[in-house]
Amino acid sequence: MMAGAGRVPQASYGAGGSRRLLLLLVLPLAFLALFFFYPLLSILRLSLSAAGESQPLVLRSILDPLGFTLWQAALSTVLTFAVGLPGAYLFARFDFPGKRLLRALTTLPFVLPTVVVAVAFNALLGPRGWLNLGLMALSGASAPPIQFINTLWAILAAHVFYNTAVVLRLVGNAWAHLDPRLTHAARVLGASPWRAWREVTLPLLRPSILAALVLVFLFDFSSFGVVLMLGGPRFATLEVAIYTQALHLLNLPLAALLSLIQIACTLSLTTLYARLAPQVSAPSAPRAAEEASQRPVAPRRRLAAVLLVGLLLVLLVAPLVALAARSIARLEPDRGQRTSVSAGLTLSYYRELFVNRREALFYVPPIAAVRNSLGYAAATVIIALALGLPAASALARASRFGRQVDALLMLPLGTSAVTLGLGFVVALDTPPLDLRASPLLVPLAHSLVALPFVVRTLQPALASIPERLRMAAATLGASPWRVWREVDLPIVARAASVAAAFAFTISMGEFGATSLVARPEYPTVPVAIFRFLSQPGALNYGQALAMATLLMGLTLAGILVIERLRLPGVGEF
């Protein structure tokens, strides 16, 4: 969700320059052709074979997950806006101590891997979560009184947790730059607060609200890990149905048909968002955000601010605090005394990450999954930067061809990770691209997901380099390679660091594609967490807590690096 890069006019490069641009784009376009378009074409070809199956069975296998996907996405979007719009008003119109910290904390859920979110909700509301264990201690019950996991409410709550940041950032940013005197003038002329909102504020916010609406619906529509890990077997979105058909039922033709429908829907939503996004940053009568926000002095405004801050903390921060606290707490009901809970602090869950207690030949210790993820992330950074730097360098030179290539490079953003993973399974298992048994398949999939973010991060920095610097270096006899090394690279180094942090963070948390393409003996941290959550026992649950906490810490560190290094005004997140 990086904002579109602004471009500055560049000097004409002539025939030689055009050849250099084409050379810069050869590798990124070849990568897309081999690892994006070829797998998608393979899915299309395989989906045609599903027509030979029983039509009523195929139709039901499509309509059931499609209907549930649309319904839960619509309901999740409504609930997200019910929380997000008041939160956007809070950040736009109120100034209070800790505002910047709260903004950062409410943004963190959006970038967390889905497995971390699932474990966080388990730690707070699961059978062995804080709330259930506390209620069991108070009531003396022998079973958890709250059944939250494996319900529709768990899916909806996780989607609100995930996507409220989209509304806070997109709508809140537009709201903060609206002149509050417009609303004050309407009130002076006799308009009620509701009428002033409906006839003044809402029309000005409509572009940002519509863009956020489409974006939130898109994320809810393409949800995978949240539904798989919190919804249970009764609920299946298109993503979960693709995963189940491909990995458990081995029905690749039907999985390919479902993927084709998923691609059509997500690309349509992405196209709609692309048309709405340019309208977001054009408020009428703009004001500086600092001028629009004020300290809540009146009792009613102060109460409203306190309630809104409390709501955001409970909904968006409490699960993360519960996860970190639960990973170091040994907190279980005392079966000897039904009304008490045995409690204590422990690091045993973290120590168990280094132990193969089962002494099984095919058991992969959790710390091995951490090493795998770090290796995959390092490879992803190298691949994504090697592809993103030349692509962004070429796209920084404004041209109609460049805009078309830019649209091609952004296509992976509109395709679900599960669909990409299925495409790899279908297409890359026969010569000459027989990579199915290669560990390289995971960083290739991660690089495909990370590449649009890398290009979007590097392109504005490269486009901002004055052409006269390059021309002066060339006049003094520098070769194109030396111009790039001594002029472009020092200027773009900061943006490259941000792009590397993006690629690293995305790779560490990616679960959808990885769950389909990772070899069992080389799991990543998200895959290992999912395995531990799927198995009974307090030790497995504790190891999932510890790994999820470590992954949350790595994600937070990556986001802090991005926020510290990114160029001002580039993107909303």
Q: Which of 331-345, 423-437, 498-512, 558-572 has the highest mean pLDDT?
A: 498-512
Q: Which residue has the higher pLDDT, 233 or 363?
A: 233
Query: What is the Cβ-side half-sphere exposure of residue 463, based on CA atoms within 13 angstroms?
Result: 22
Q: Which residue has the higher pLDDT, 294 or 387?
A: 387
| Residue among 108, 86, 272 nearest 172 (CA) | 86
Secondary structure (3-state) at 327: coil
Task: Give the C-alpha separation, 143 to 185, whole Å.
Answer: 58
CATH of the domain at 153: 1.10.3720.10
pLDDT of residue 5: 43
Residues in CB range of 146: below 8 A, 6 or more apart: 125, 131, 132, 135
Q: Which residue has the higher pLDDT, 459 or 279?
A: 459
Q: Kindly state the average pLDDT of the residues 256-273.
A: 86
Contact 371, 172 (CB under 8 A): no
Task: Give the C-alpha separation, 289 to 293, whole Å.
Answer: 7
To the nearest whole percent, how much of the chain has pLDDT over 70?
85
- Whether 501 maps to a domain, the answer reads yes
Phi, psi (rounded to 5 degrees) for 286: -65, 150
Q: Kindly state the average pLDDT of the residues 75-102.
A: 88
Task: Give the C-alpha separation, 472 to 475, whole Å.
Answer: 5
Tokens 């249970």 correspond to: 232
Task: Give the C-alpha separation, 190 to 317, whole Å.
Answer: 40
| Residue among 145, 152, 120, 553 nearest 315 (CA) | 120
Neighbours of 477 (CB within 10 A): 7
Task: State in Å, rounded, how far the first CA of the chain is from the last one.
Answer: 7
- Whether 296 maps to a domain, the answer reads yes
Distances (CA, A) of 142 to 124, 127, 139: 18, 11, 9
Task: Give me the amino acid identity at 544.
Answer: A
Task: Report residue 565's pLDDT band, with 50, 70 and 90 as the boundaries.
Answer: confident
pLDDT of residue 68: 92
Task: Give me the amino acid identity at 175.
Answer: W
Here the tokens at position 164 are 């409220």
- Whether 287 maps to a domain, the answer reads yes
Contact 364, 523 (CB under 8 A): yes
Q: Which residue has the higher pLDDT, 359 or 368?
A: 368
Task: Give the C-alpha separation, 228 to 244, whole Å.
Answer: 10
The DSSP 8-state label assigned to residue 508 in this structure reads H
Residues in the chain: 573
Residue 2, pLDDT > 50, answer no
β-bridge mates for residue 329, sequence order: 345
Q: Kindly state the average pLDDT of the residues 43-59.
A: 69
- Whether 555 maps to a domain, the answer reads yes
Task: Give the C-alpha separation, 198 to 496, whole Å.
Answer: 44
Residue 281, pLDDT > 80, answer no
Range 486-498 burial, b when 16+ CB lie within 10 A, else e: ebbeeebeebbbb
Range 416-446 burial, b when 16+ CB lie within 10 A, else e: bbbbbbbbbbbbbeeeeeebeeebebbbbbb
Residues in CB range of 18: below 8 A, 6 or more apart: none
Write down the pTM of the prediction.
0.81
Residue 32, pLDDT > 60, answer yes
| Residue among 504, 518, 490, 482 nearest 382 (CA) | 504
Q: Which residue has the higher pLDDT, 399 or 268?
A: 268
Q: Which run of H or of E encompasses 343?
A: none
Task: Report residue 413's pLDDT band, with 50, 70 and 90 as the boundaries.
Answer: confident
Task: Give me the amino acid identity at 201.
Answer: T
Domain span at 361? 18-44+57-329+355-565
Helices (H), 222-317: 225-226, 238-243, 252-276, 289-292, 299-312
Task: Give the C-alpha separation, 154 to 122, whole Å.
Answer: 10
Task: Report residue 331's pLDDT band, with 50, 70 and 90 as the boundaries.
Answer: low
Residue 10, pLDDT > 80, answer no
pLDDT of residue 490: 81
Count of domains forming the chain? 1
Secondary structure (3-state) at 345: strand
Here the tokens at position 344 are 């204590």
Task: Give the C-alpha separation, 417 to 115, whole Å.
Answer: 14
Contact 571, 499 (CB under 8 A): no
pLDDT of residue 557: 83
Residue 447, pLDDT > 90, answer yes
Helices (H), 224-251: 225-226, 238-243
- Whether 336 maps to a domain, the answer reads no
- Whether 51 maps to a domain, the answer reads no
Here the tokens at position 59 are 């139709």
Q: Which residue has the higher pLDDT, 535 or 390?
A: 390
- Whether 271 maps to a domain, the answer reads yes
287 burial via Cβ count (<10 Å: 0-12, 13-18, 19+): middle
pLDDT, the chain, mean: 80
Task: Give the C-alpha separation, 140 to 337, whole Å.
Answer: 8
Residue 127, pLDDT > 70, answer yes
Residues in CB range of 247: below 8 A, 6 or more apart: 515, 516
Task: Report residue 14's pLDDT band, with 50, 70 and 90 as the boundaries.
Answer: very low
pLDDT of residue 559: 78
- Whether 572 maps to a domain, the answer reads no
Quick one: CA dihedral 326, 329, 330, 332, positive or negative? negative
Phi, psi (rounded to 5 degrees) for 341: -130, 130
Using omega within 30 degrees of 0 as the cis cutoff, is the peptide bond preceding 86 cis?
A: no
Residue 494, pLDDT > 90, answer no
Residues in CB range of 314: below 8 A, 6 or more apart: none
Contact 486, 478 (CB under 8 A): yes
Phi, psi (rounded to 5 degrees) for 156: -65, -45
Among 139-153, 393-407, 472-486, whose mean pLDDT is lowest? 393-407
Residue 457, pLDDT > 80, answer yes
Contact 73, 220 (CB under 8 A): yes
pLDDT of residue 9: 41
Among 143-152, 276-285, 349-358, 398-407, whose mean pLDDT is lowest? 276-285
